[in-house]
Amino acid sequence: NLSARETTQDFDTICKEHIKKEEGYRTNTYFCTQGLLTGGYGHKVLPNEPVPTSREGWEKLFEQDYLIAKTGASKLVNENVEPAALGIVIEMVYQMGHRGVSKFKKMLKAVNRGDYETASVEMLDSLWAKQTPQRAKRMSKRMQNI
């Protein structure tokens, strides 16, 4: 049996891998589809924020962004949801922010009652799914398979 700490580490490792795969990595900054300066693993550079010039710097920002997303997601779902569902909500918060995901009211209600099939459908009924259709389909499929 894994200890609670080992389980948390494994959960975080898997969740971070999913986010990094979906976001991709860029050392040099670029402007995302919303016109925001972005770099690393989809990090939105804030005004007056120093821009990292190394992978190490972007990794440090990723860790901070991940903790923000995990905290935001934990406010949206109750503690008895399946870890895989929580992981998907963390990924969504990483991409769209807590406020953005909080608008997925029907999806969140379904997740919180353990109805992952309905949650997967509700994920696709969104502007997010229109803007990033392949990512949304992959994540919806994972939700459906919980």
For the stretch 40-90, pLDDT in tens is: 999 999 989 999 999 999 999 999 999 999 999 999 999 899 999 999 999
Backbone phi, then psi, for 44, in 5-degree steps? -80, 115
Identify the burial level of 116 via C-beta atoms within 10 angstroms of its C-beta, where 0-12 means exposed, 13-18 middle and 19 or more buried.
Answer: buried
Look-up: residue for tokens 């769209």? 96
Q: Which of 20, 49, 21 is nearest to 36 (CA)?
A: 49
Rounded Cα distance, 20 and 24, in Å: 6
Express each pLDDT in 80-121 by its tens digit: 999 999 999 999 999 999 999 999 999 999 999 999 999 999
- Note if the pTM is more than 0.75: yes
Helix (H, G, I), strand (E, B) or coil at 28: strand
Confidence band for 3, pLDDT divided at 50, 70 and 90: very low
At 35 the pLDDT is: 87
- Provide the pLDDT for residue 98: 93
* pLDDT at residue 64 in the model: 96
110/101 Cα distance (integer angstroms): 14
